[in-house]
Chain A
Amino acid sequence: MSLDGNEPLSPGRWAMSVPAISMHGVVKRFGSITAVDGLDLEVPSGVCFGLLGPNGAGKSTTMRMLTAQALADSGEISVLGFELPRESKQARMEMGVVPQLDNLDVELTCRQILTVFARLYRVPGDERTTAVDRALALANLVPRADTIVKELSGGMRRRLLVARGLIHRPRLVLLDEPTVGLDPQVRQELWSLIDGLRASGVTVLMSTHYIEEAERLADVVAVMSAGRIVALGKPAELVRDHAGEEVLEVYGPPAKLAEASELASREGWQSRRSGPALAIMRAESLDGRAPDGLRRPANLEDAFVALTGEEIE
């Protein structure tokens, strides 16, 4: 956070020219398992970028490679203009990380944890108290500042994790499954926090397997499957390109669904089982041959399933 003015370049040094994150041909293997398989990814500055994929798609491994906590077997990675892994420490100085797994020190208070991380992120001594107070306010934890982590609720702990990753006002924030396992109300709170980050110009890379999360927050979504990006675009574009405008949902007893499914494959319609129904994509182009059913607008989940062939919760 040095503001000493020795830096001749403008604050928006990378904003226009250099993407916040760029990964080219990145491969990461664990023994015989290839977790990331030739990944190409560019995250422009200032956007909220959603990395959407089922469990095991390689999202967390990708996140760990961006902090050099996992080293790629091949390929090139750069973060905020710094080349990884050689310059990863410089990149980590200006990046905040919110991990999927809670790794808070349970014996410490919120304030103690934030103070330790303010030091780790090199917040100068005279700014540390302000930085901690700001992070506490940001996460609505001011009344809990001196409570030890063990005594916080799950939602508070997650907010503290977020506050910890923002203590040094990073330009880039990595959020790995930020709302996994949280109840809907807490999830809403975190969503507004993430939205606020983007509004203030922070680049956000968020991995998630919640469709709704990606749909509501992300400017751009990359769908990840089996270690690579299978589609990329604005959520609405992905829906239009991969699921059409409308979906026809056919309800009924198993025999009726089987019949509809057969019809769909005979006609070459894209369809999938969706809970108790059979969903047929691109309902707008089915003419009059379609079975009876309920028409609804296509959503990102339809596109996601069409792309990855995988159902999600």
Chain B
Amino acid sequence: MSAQSASAPAPAAAARTVKRLEPAALAGVMSRDVVIFSRYWKATTFSSIVQPTIYLLAFGLGFRALVPHVANHPYVQFVATGVVATAVLFSSAFPGMFNTFVRWQFQRTYDAMLAAPVDVEELITAEVLWISARAGVYGMAPLLVGIAFGLQPVPGMLLVPFIGFLTGFGFASFGVAIAAVAKTIDNFNYVTSAVLTPLFLVAGTFFPISTLPAGAQAIAQINPLYHCNQLVRDASFGALGPADLYHLAVLVAFALLMWRLAISQLGKRLID
């Protein structure tokens, strides 16, 4: 142990005014995510891109002969735009659940960070922002595959990462809230089977919800993935209209609600 004088305290800093959600705190938390990502980006990217692409190819190519067109679009293109929401769901809800649980319970990373000048709200917001930014980017993958299958690139597609980000923000927060109440990591299986799988099947991804019974259609209306799908399709097919403001509003409401829920649920458990 050397250089004792080097440990002398810094002169008292000016009494800082601290605010909620300080950018410096968010950047600090995210800088850790970036370092981790730089180590694991291959595996993360592989799973986030390959899985939806397989869905896309299996359904898109498999049903192409049976269902040539849906809503005036070639079926492959209908599915390519739909699987964007699936990619966003997978790359946001799962990291929201698993990363949170592991960092909080197993690695105690959150405990370490909260001893620094970082509040629970900043910690969770930064983690969710990072996951949703990634989800927005990964959501582009199916679209690129779709373009390879003849989907016409249009300027509206540039909105898709932002739609993915917004949807991902909600689902990442949802995952954090689930991690906060889960007793063990195995509990996530219930959520995957009972919540996430039905959500992604009743979202108009592989078939339009108009083909569903009235009850299921009603459920789709409260499914954020359905609204994500509608926005992505309208943006990708150059068909944005006033109805999309409604879809956008639902996604914003979902994101805000889940964000606050994640903070209150995990906050209760991080602070004794």
- Residues of A at the B interface (CB closer than 8 Å) are 1-4, 6-7, 9-14, 28, 30, 61, 64, 67-71, 87, 89-90, 92-94, 97, 99, 101, 103-108, 112, 115-117, 119-122, 134, 137-140, 159, 164, 166, 168-171, 189-190, 192-193, 196-197, 199-202
Q: Given the known inter-chain contacts A92-B116, A120-B29, please indicate yes or no for A3 contacting B271, CB distance below 8 A.
A: no
Judged by a CB distance under 8 angstroms, whether B194 is at the interface is no
CB of B272 within 8 A of CB of A117, answer no
Chain A residues within an 8 Å CB radius of B29: 120
12 contacts between A and B (CB under 8 A): A1-B10, A6-B14, A67-B114, A67-B115, A97-B116, A101-B111, A105-B32, A112-B35, A119-B28, A138-B2, A138-B3, A169-B8
CB of B1 within 8 A of CB of A193, answer yes
CB of B119 within 8 A of CB of A89, answer yes
CB < 8 Å neighbour of A120 from B14, B36, B118, B270: B118
For the A-B complex with A70-B272, A99-B111, A201-B9 known, give 17 more contacts whose Cβ atoms are closer than 8 Å: A3-B13, A7-B15, A11-B11, A12-B12, A30-B272, A69-B115, A69-B272, A97-B115, A104-B112, A116-B32, A119-B24, A122-B24, A140-B2, A169-B10, A196-B4, A197-B4, A199-B4
Interface size class on chain B is 35 or more
Chain B residues within an 8 Å CB radius of A11: 11-12
CB of A122 within 8 A of CB of B117, answer yes
Chain A residues within an 8 Å CB radius of B115: 67, 69, 92, 97, 99
CB of A103 within 8 A of CB of B117, answer no
Closest residue of A by beta carbon distance from B113: A120
Give the CA-CA distance A71 to B120 in the complex, in Å. 14
Report the minimal beta-carbon distance from B191 to chain A, rounded to whole angstroms.
26
Chain B residues within an 8 Å CB radius of A87: 18
Give the CA-CA distance A67 to B7 in the complex, in Å. 21
Q: Given the known inter-chain contacts A89-B117, A119-B27, A138-B6, please indicate yes or no for A107 contacting B39, CB distance below 8 A.
A: yes
Closest residue of B by beta carbon distance from A122: B24
Judged by a CB distance under 8 angstroms, whether B210 is at the interface is no
Give the CA-CA distance A70 to B28 in the complex, in Å. 23
Judged by a CB distance under 8 angstroms, whether B201 is at the interface is no
Closest residue of B by beta carbon distance from A172: B9
Give the CA-CA distance A93 to B115 in the complex, in Å. 9
Judged by a CB distance under 8 angstroms, whether B31 is at the interface is yes
CB of A202 within 8 A of CB of B9, answer yes
Report the minimal beta-carbon distance from A18 to chain B, rounded to whole angstroms.
11
CB of A200 within 8 A of CB of B5, answer yes
Chain A residues within an 8 Å CB radius of B32: 105, 108, 116
CB < 8 Å neighbour of B271 from A4, A70, A119, A140: A70
Chain B residues within an 8 Å CB radius of A112: 35
Chain B residues within an 8 Å CB radius of A171: 9-10, 12
Chain A residues within an 8 Å CB radius of B107: 103, 105-106
- Residues of B at the A interface (CB closer than 8 Å) are 1-16, 18, 24-25, 27-29, 31-32, 35-36, 39, 107-109, 111-119, 270-272
CB of A120 within 8 A of CB of B3, answer no
CB of A119 within 8 A of CB of B16, answer no
Report the minimal beta-carbon distance from A149 to chain B, rounded to whole angstroms.
10
Closest residue of A by beta carbon distance from B110: A103
Report the minimal beta-carbon distance from A295 to chain B, rounded to whole angstroms.
37
Report the minimal beta-carbon distance from A47 to chain B, rounded to whole angstroms.
14
CB of A105 within 8 A of CB of B117, answer no
10 closest Cβ pairs, A-B complex: A196-B4, A103-B108, A119-B28, A70-B272, A120-B28, A7-B14, A97-B115, A200-B8, A193-B1, A169-B10
Give the CA-CA distance A104 to B109 in the complex, in Å. 7
Report the minimal beta-carbon distance from B189 to chain A, rounded to whole angstroms.
25
Give the CA-CA distance A101 to B108 in the complex, in Å. 9
CB of B14 within 8 A of CB of A121, answer no
Chain B residues within an 8 Å CB radius of A9: 12
Most buried by B among A1, A3, A9, A120: A120
Chain A residues within an 8 Å CB radius of B4: 196-197, 199-200
Closest residue of B by beta carbon distance from A139: B1
Report the minimal beta-carbon distance from B225 to chain A, rounded to whole angstroms.
32
CB of B9 within 8 A of CB of A169, answer yes
CB < 8 Å neighbour of B7 from A101, A107, A140, A202: A202
Chain B residues within an 8 Å CB radius of A69: 111, 114-115, 270-272
Chain A residues within an 8 Å CB radius of B11: 3, 11
Give the CA-CA distance A253 to B91 in the complex, in Å. 70
Most buried by B among A140, A200, A201: A200
Chain B residues within an 8 Å CB radius of A105: 32, 36, 107, 109
Report the minimal beta-carbon distance from B11 to chain A, rounded to whole angstroms.
4
Give the CA-CA distance A28 to B272 in the complex, in Å. 9
Chain A residues within an 8 Å CB radius of B28: 116-117, 119-120, 122
Give the CA-CA distance A11 to B13 in the complex, in Å. 8
Most buried by A among B2, B7, B108, B272: B7
